[in-house]
Amino acid sequence: MADASTANPPCINVSNVVKTYRRGVDEVRALRGLTCQIPQGRLSFIVGPSGSGKSSLLYLLGGLDRPDSGDISVFGRPLTEFTHRERDEFRRREVGFIFQNFNLLGNLSAVDNVLVPFLPQGISADLRRQAVELLTQVGLAKRLDHRPNQLSGGEQQRVAIARALLKRPLLVLGDEPTGELDSTSGAEIYRHLRQLRDQHGSTIVVVTHDRSHIEPGDFVLTIRDGTLKTD
């Protein structure tokens, strides 16, 4: 990486990114030439008022969407130059998503939900063992065969975390992962995220409204009106 002298070299480089949504004649300029860097191996927070473009940025980082202009590189790889297929592949291999509303599949058990990313390739016994291990790490050892509707919100989000981590992604992206949880469950989610970051060395980027979970060592990025707000 470019800056090897710091403890946490930037793993994500965003430069001059513009993202405009069109709905009919209306244009919404969600990101207006945003430039920022996010360091590797840390828990980073993207904060800002509602509608400022936080989610938009996160989806761009995860290759779920592409910007109108500007460049994004993740671990030195030029995401904005990827083809459709390459982006699919990048998302499949390198990125784990955690959503505000958990997004688990209702007809699958907790373990199977964790295994969802690997269903197309087939599930080996070893992979299943790893899934159980991850669920155990987030405190769900006794709930492996429960369906999402038999789990609390906090438990469902922990299943989603295990799912995001099973492929050992370089990058874990969370869009308000504690948005629908009370403060105790929310705190627990962050405890698990920090623990997993320490164990796997993942880079975790979380969008949130709630600054109460931010700890001194965390990296914070504040966005306002689609651009970086520098304090």
Partner 1 sequence: MFPFAFRNLLSRPLRSALALCGLTVAIAGMVGLFSVAEGIQDTVQSTFGKMPGLVIIQPGAPIPLFSRLPADWDAELRSVEGVHVVHPEVWARAHLVEGKAAISPPRFLFGSDLERADQLLFSIYREKIVAGRYLTAEDRTTLHCVISKGIAEEHQCTVGDTLKVDGKLLEIVGIYDTKSLFLDVAIIIDIALAREMGKVGTDTVCNFYVEPQAAVRYADIADRINALLANRGPGAWQPTLDQALDLAGDNPALKSLAPLAKAALAAGGESKPPQTSPGEAPIEVRSPEDWSDQVQQFTADLDLFLAIMTTIGITIAFVGIVNTMLMSVSERIIEFGILKANGWSSGNVLTLIGCESALLGLGGGVLGAFVGWVATHAVNARFPTRIHLYASPKLLVASLLFSCVLGMLAGLYPALRAARMAPMEAIRRG
**Binding piece for ligand ATP, criterion CB under 6 A, among 20-28, 67-75, 87-95, 105-113:** 20-28
Q: Minimal distance in Å, beta carbon 4 to partner 1?
A: 31
> How far is the C-alpha of 129 from the C-alpha of 149, rounded, in Å?
23
> How far is the C-alpha of 107 from the C-alpha of 113, rounded, in Å?
9
Give the CB-nearest residue to Mg ion: 55
Contact status: 79 vs ligand ATP (CB under 6 A): no
Beta strand pairing call for 171-175 and 203-207: parallel
> Which of 55, 113, 156, 178 forms a contact with Mg ion (CB under 5 A)?
55
Contact status: 99 vs partner 1 (CB under 8 A): yes
3-state secondary structure of 191: helix
> Which of 6, 35, 101, 195 forms a contact with partner 1 (CB under 8 A)?
101
> How far is the C-alpha of 13 from the C-alpha of 17, rounded, in Å?
10
Compare residues 23 and 84 and give the one whose CB is closer to ligand ATP: 23
Q: Under 8 Å CB-to-CB from 90, ≥6 apart: which residues?
A: 63, 74, 77, 79, 82
Please check whether residue 35 is in contact with residue 16, taking contact to mean a CB–CB distance below 8 angstroms: yes
Which of Mg ion, partner 1, ligand ATP, none interacts with 120 (beta carbon under 5 to 8 A by kind)?
A: partner 1
**Binding piece for ligand ATP, criterion CB under 6 A, among 50-58, 73-81, 115-123, 154-162:** 50-58
Residue 161, CA distances (Å) to 37, 54, 96, 122, 123 in order:
24, 20, 8, 21, 19
> Which of 30, 43, 189, 221 forms a contact with ligand ATP (CB under 6 A)?
30
Cβ atoms within 10 Å of 26's Cβ, excluding its own: 7
> Which of 53, 154, 169, 186 forms a contact with ligand ATP (CB under 6 A)?
53
Interface contacts to partner 1, rule CB under 8 A:
59, 62, 64-65, 85, 88-89, 91-93, 95, 97, 99, 101, 103-108, 116-117, 119-120, 163, 167
Binding residues vs Mg ion (CB under 5 A): 55
